[in-house]
Structures are given as C-alpha cells and as structure tokens.
Amino acid sequence: MLTQKPVTELLDAFSSPDPTPGGGSAAALAGAMGAALLAMVAGLPKTRTGAPEERTALDAARTDLVRFQKRLTELVDRDTAAYDLVVAAYKKPKSTDEEKAARQRAIQDGMRAATEVPLETMQASLDALRAAHAVATHGNPSALSDVSVGAHLLMSALSGAMLNVGVNIGSLKDAAVADRIKHDVVQTLKASSEATRVIFTSEPVAELTRDVQTKLGLPLQAPPSPEQFHAGMTEMLRRLGTEEARKALEALATSPTASMRDAAMAALGRFSSGG
C-alpha cells in the first residue's frame, strides 16, 4: 500500500514512469495532509479566546477532520487501485468476440471506478473544508498559517480530483451513471464556494493574510476568494472541450454570489467563442 511507505519511497513511486500512482492519488494525499493540519490546530490546548464554547466547537471539528483525514488517506490507495483496473483491462485478450466483450466490460468497470473514486476525493475534501470553518474561527491564533495551508491543500485536492473525474468521464458508456456523476461534481463545486468563503473571509484568516503581506512588503490584496478559485476551475473545465464542461459552467453561472456568477459567465463566453 502506498500509504504504508516511508515518505521518500512514496515520492519515488510518484516520480516513477509507471502510470500509477498518478494525479488522483496525489490529490487525495494533498487532501489528507490538509485535513491532518487542520485536525492538529483543532487539538491544540489554546483556543482563540479561551471560551468554553470554542473548545467544544474545536473538539467536534477535530473529530470530523480526523475522520476525513482517514477517508482521504484510504482514497490515495483506492485511486491507484482503480486505475490499475483500467490498465489491466486494456491488456486482456481480444482474439474472439467473447474475449472482446469481456475486455470491454472490464474496461468500463475500471473506468467507472477511476471516475467515481476521485469524485469521492472531491466530496471528502469538501467535508473537510466545511469542518475547517470552526478551526479558522476558534483556533489558536499562533497556528493560523497552518489553518490557511490546510485549507489550500484541500482546495488543491478538490480541483485536482475534479480534473481526474473530467478526464475519465468521457469514457463511460452508461449515460445514467455519467449524468449522475456530472450532477454530483457541479453540486460539490457549488457547495465548496461557500465553504471556502467562510474560511478566507473569516476575521482571523483575513487578518493573517494582511499581516503577512505587510511584513513581506507585498501589495495588499484580498486572500484567494472562492470566486477566484472557481474561475480557475471553470477555465480548466473549458479546456476539456466537452459538453460536460459547458453544463458545469452553466450550473456555476446560476450561483447567487455575484462575482462567482460573473466569472462563470465570462468563462462560458470564452467557451462559446473557443477562446
């Protein structure tokens, strides 16, 4: 199992010329690291103000984050196993009609797993981002940089897993399964907008961002917003050049958040013009 390897061996596995582990496992690993960082902050003895209700909220968040960390860790190996099924299926014999039919079934089974597993990574990352709100709001102020890093890792996990879903879904021949997965992707993206908003616009994290920018002599700017995050996602979707991308953009364009809606509409315009 990948997750049982020492870090150096794990990185060697990712850098090898073998097709697995790949981006899906890397996305899940990033998410597991993000959830772990947030769980650490939630477990620190000191809270933001020392109020009893903060301790209660952080304890509950830590319980959830540890569970999501475990889920994402399992997805590192599951993603590799799913794509290994695809690789093995393509190597099956195809001399007779029976062999060809069995090979096609195996390919479809493998592609479905390779599409659904990264969707689970997206959903687990979203769950961890939701739990991160309590950590950002009530956690030890000295560990706010860990909170921000953890959230960014989860955002990367979510967007990376989405790319794997988008790449693999075109190979699915079961339209009902493909439509259900597309729907779940769009819903997960929309829900992650709110989850990221409450983290990066929370007073502690926003204050940290301003402080770091001032100390480093950087131009003061707002922390990465969910709108910017999703604008990047919509551009990645557009580059897939699929009808699925168009439908996802159209769904994002119905967002109640004006800036996110505008970003999606702009991406739709570029999609339609081919730019």
Euclidean distance between CA atoms 189 and 187, whole angstroms: 5
Share of the chain above pLDDT 90, in %: 66
Q: Which two tokens stand for residue 92?
A: 């099956």
Closest CA to 191 of 238, 118, 116, 127: 127
Q: With 60 as the cut, is the pLDDT of residue 104 above it?
A: yes
Q: How far is CA 173 from CA 5, 59, 105, 177, 243, in A?
A: 36, 45, 10, 8, 15
Tally Cβ neighbours within 10 Å of residue 107: 18
Q: Which domains does the chain have, with CATH numbers?
A: 2-224 (1.20.120.680)
Q: Give pLDDT tens digits for 3-43.
A: 999 999 999 999 999 988 999 999 999 999 999 999 999 99
Q: 3-state class of 219 per DSSP?
A: coil
Model pTM score: 0.80
Place of tokens 């860790």: 73
The mean pLDDT value for 254-275 works out to 57
φ, ψ for residue 19 (rounded to 5)?
-70, -25
Q: With 70 as the cut, is the pLDDT of residue 268 above it?
A: no
Q: Which residues contact 59 (CB under 8 A, 6 or more apart)?
A: 42
Q: What is the pLDDT of residue 34?
A: 98
Q: Give pLDDT tens digits for 142-171.
A: 999 999 999 999 999 999 999 999 999 989
Q: With 80 as the cut, is the pLDDT of residue 62 above it?
A: yes
Closest CA to 204 of 101, 134, 120, 260: 134
Q: What is the pLDDT of residue 8?
A: 96
Q: 3-state class of 164 per DSSP?
A: helix
Least confident of 132-136, 174-178, 190-194, 218-222: 218-222
φ, ψ for residue 131 (rounded to 5)?
-70, -25
Q: Give pLDDT tens digits for 188-210.
A: 988 888 888 889 888 898 888 88
Task: Respond yes or no on whether the N-terminal peptide bond of residue 21 is cis (omega within 30° of 0).
Answer: yes
Sign of the C-alpha dihedral, residues 143, 149, 153, 158? positive
199 or 219, greater pLDDT: 199
CA 105 distance to own-chain centroid: 29
